[in-house]
Amino acid sequence: MFRCDENGKDIRQVSGNTEHDNTPWVMPDGRILYTRWEYVDRSQVDFHQLWTMNPDGSNQAIYYGNMHPGTLMIDAKPIPGTDQVAASFSPGHGRNEHQGPIGLVHALQGPDALSSSLIPNPKQHVKDPYPLSEDCFLAARGRHLIVMDGEGDTDVIYKFTGEGSIHEPRPIMARKREPIIPTRTNEEKLNGELILMNAHIGRNMEGVNDGDIKKLLVLELLPKPVNFSGGPDLLSWLGTFTLQRVMGTVPVEEDGSAYFELPANRSFFFVALDENDLSVKRMQSFLSVAPGERLSCVGCHEERYSTPVSAGQNSILATQRPASTVRKFEDIPDVIDFNRDIQPILDQNCVECHNFDKRGGDVSLVGDLGPMYSHSFYALFANLQVADGRNGLGNQPPRSLGTSASALMNKLDGSHYDVTLSPRDWRTVWMWVESGATYVGTYAALRNGQEQGLSGTGHVFGAQRDVLKRRCSECHETENLSNEAGMALPFNPHNEHRRETINRPTTVHERIVLPNDPLARFSAHILLNFSRPEKSPLLLAPLSREAGGRASCGDVFKDTDDADYQILLAAIEACKTRADTKPRYATSGFRPNQQY
């Protein structure tokens, strides 16, 4: 969000959201009421709630609803003479033109109380509500201008007969000027300051004891200059939708307090770390500081209506010293790329036992490319080795996300077949997990529609359906083998409910899978190898050991001369050739898409 003077000049940034800030409006006390869309390690469709800030961008705070997903709250305006606001409560991710019922909100009980909102007429979907009083609301509905009373009854007061429809009704009338809030910023400064009173208190902090938290990991959400779909594409497997830069750590004092500087007008969030640098609690929202601003909070995911338990700055240990600067990790990239930074560590420590031929634990951690990701990247998630936000809801319990909840971290201390990483390698894997466990480390890797189509798998699971049916259906149900769905693309988060519609043994068929689903291990991302087609598990599993296969499906193919084996191999090679038409990320010759 930006502001300017009355002539459109002196344009200044007042918010640093990497997603959208929408429909700002001035409140009677001079603050700005607006809609913030955010998704920090949580659902990218469910959180568009009401926030406030001062006109200079300082004191950004939730107004209502950030713990309650599933409603787009937008076009909010204060109701004259009251402490309430009226907004469009557009269902779900938001409907066309923000259509939805008019919702009335007061935040006197804090931003999380469901009783703080009321919808007088849930069935009447309108757009652009404008409150004249608590008993009179203007709104647009198609070509109609309507009025609604406080009971939800409506009347049409004007019908437009031309082309198009009615938008943004406004009364032309005098109103009292809002008070001007004195500026709390200093445009000459590049940073702001944060004071955290006690990291051990807050919402959903059960099991966190005083002294557990020793540091805060500071992460920055990086602005995304281009996007081609509603999914994460190559960034993650439905984990984070934005890149997360590791800024470094700041100390937490014995009383749980912290005091530190951050760059202004950028989006940051924190992970509370224990004495072993493992995650205790992960922030699933973000904050920004204005230039020169000093912002404070009570605790982690604090109750917004709570106040500090002790008064006076001298009672907070961290404020008895100068503000900390964020301590960076030396000699490690601040944005981790899986193929560049993690795969070499796997090659050195894991691939000897976890490869296409030996496949210890039925897992391959070889970096060969599948239809979208490398086999190793997909296998780590399919085998539940990494705990990320998984596009779920926010404010998850302590130690349920990140390094403390990721089984992979437990295998790096020598207890797993004597695998011991160097301190730098351990820290690199640790940074990867804590920064969202992304596949790519740059938005340049995102693929436009044409590039996404190049790696489709329909040629394998479509035209070759008869081969799979003849040679595999005795053990695996193949009736629902798909041309693309759930195979070439990871899955559509909007159709996540489809997980519940098919309940069968582990088979290869059309469905959307998540890492906690057994079928994740039977996906095209695992079955097909677009680096070395002959190493595709789809071919190795039914191939006899004498012929170089694994025979985990028996000797379906006695040797590689089997005609059906050759048909499947040719189909996979054709997919590889098509995918290689434009060099893919992590291959020689890769170039960013034109839009990037």
Kindly indicate the confidence band of residue 458, based on its pLDDT and cuts at 50, 70 and 90.
Answer: confident
Share of the chain above pLDDT 70, in %: 91
pLDDT (tens digit, 9 = 90+) per residue, 281-339? Answer: 999 999 999 999 999 988 877 777 677 666 455 689 999 999 999 999 999 999 999 99
- Our measurement of the distance from residue 563's CA atom to the centroid of its chain's CA atoms, rounded to an integer in Å, reads 45
Share of the chain above pLDDT 90, in %: 68
pTM of the model: 0.90
- Report whether 64 contacts 50 (CB < 8 A): yes
- Report pLDDT for 310: 61
- Our measurement of the distance from residue 550's CA atom to the centroid of its chain's CA atoms, rounded to an integer in Å, reads 38
- Report whether 246 contacts 334 (CB < 8 A): yes
- Report pLDDT for 514: 53
Average pLDDT over residues 366-381: 95
Helix/strand/coil (H, E, C) string of 114-156?
Answer: HHHEECCCCCCCEEEEEEEECCEEEEEECCEEEEECCCCCEEE
- Report pLDDT for 33: 98
pLDDT (tens digit, 9 = 90+) per residue, 149-170? Answer: 999 999 999 999 999 999 999 9
Return the closest-CA partner of residue 75 out of 13, 30, 33, 28. 33
- Report whether 334 contacts 245 (CB < 8 A): yes
Kindly indicate the confidence band of residue 271, based on its pLDDT and cuts at 50, 70 and 90.
Answer: very high
Q: How many CA atoms lie within 13 A of 154 on its CB side?
A: 21
DSSP, residue by residue, 263-280: ETT--EEEEEE-TTS-EE
Ranking 1-5, 224-228, 565-569 by mean pLDDT, the lowest is 224-228
- Report pLDDT for 309: 66
Average pLDDT, the chain: 88
Which pairs with CB-CB distance under 8 Å and at least 24 residues apart come from 417-425? 417/353, 419/349, 419/350, 421/345, 421/349, 424/331, 424/332, 425/345, 425/348, 425/349
- CA separation for the pair 393, 44 (Å, rounded): 10
DSSP, residue by residue, 293-324: -EEEESSBT--TT---SS-SGGGSGGGGSPPB
- Report pLDDT for 576: 93
Helix ranges (DSSP H) in 462-593: 465-472, 524-527, 537-540, 563-579
Average pLDDT over residues 53-78: 93
Return the closest-CA partner of residue 33 out of 89, 74, 70. 74
Q: In Å, how far are 108, 284, 336, 361, 544 from 536, measured between CA atoms?
A: 60, 38, 27, 17, 14
The angle at the Cα of 232, spanning 459 to 383, to the nearest 5 degrees, equals 75
Q: In Å, how far are 298, 375, 378 from 537, measured between CA atoms?
A: 52, 10, 14
> What count of other Cβ atoms lies within 10 Å of the Cβ of residue 53?
23
Average pLDDT over residues 503-521: 43
- Report whether 257 contacts 300 (CB < 8 A): no
DSSP type of residue 338: I
Token reading at 203: 């919402």
- Report pLDDT for 298: 86
- CA separation for the pair 556, 471 (Å, rounded): 7
Average pLDDT over residues 201-227: 93
> What count of other Cβ atoms lies within 10 Å of the Cβ of residue 174?
5
Average pLDDT over residues 33-49: 92
pLDDT (tens digit, 9 = 90+) per residue, 523-535? Answer: 889 899 999 999 9
Question: Per-residue pLDDT for 107 more than 90?
Answer: no
Say if strands 279-282 and 32-37 run parallel, antiparallel, or are unpaired.
Answer: unpaired
As a dihedral over the C-alpha atoms of residue 219, residue 224, residue 228, residue 233, rounded to 10 degrees, the angle is -20
Kindly indicate the confidence band of residue 489, based on its pLDDT and cuts at 50, 70 and 90.
Answer: very low
> What count of other Cβ atoms lies within 10 Å of the Cβ of residue 23?
18
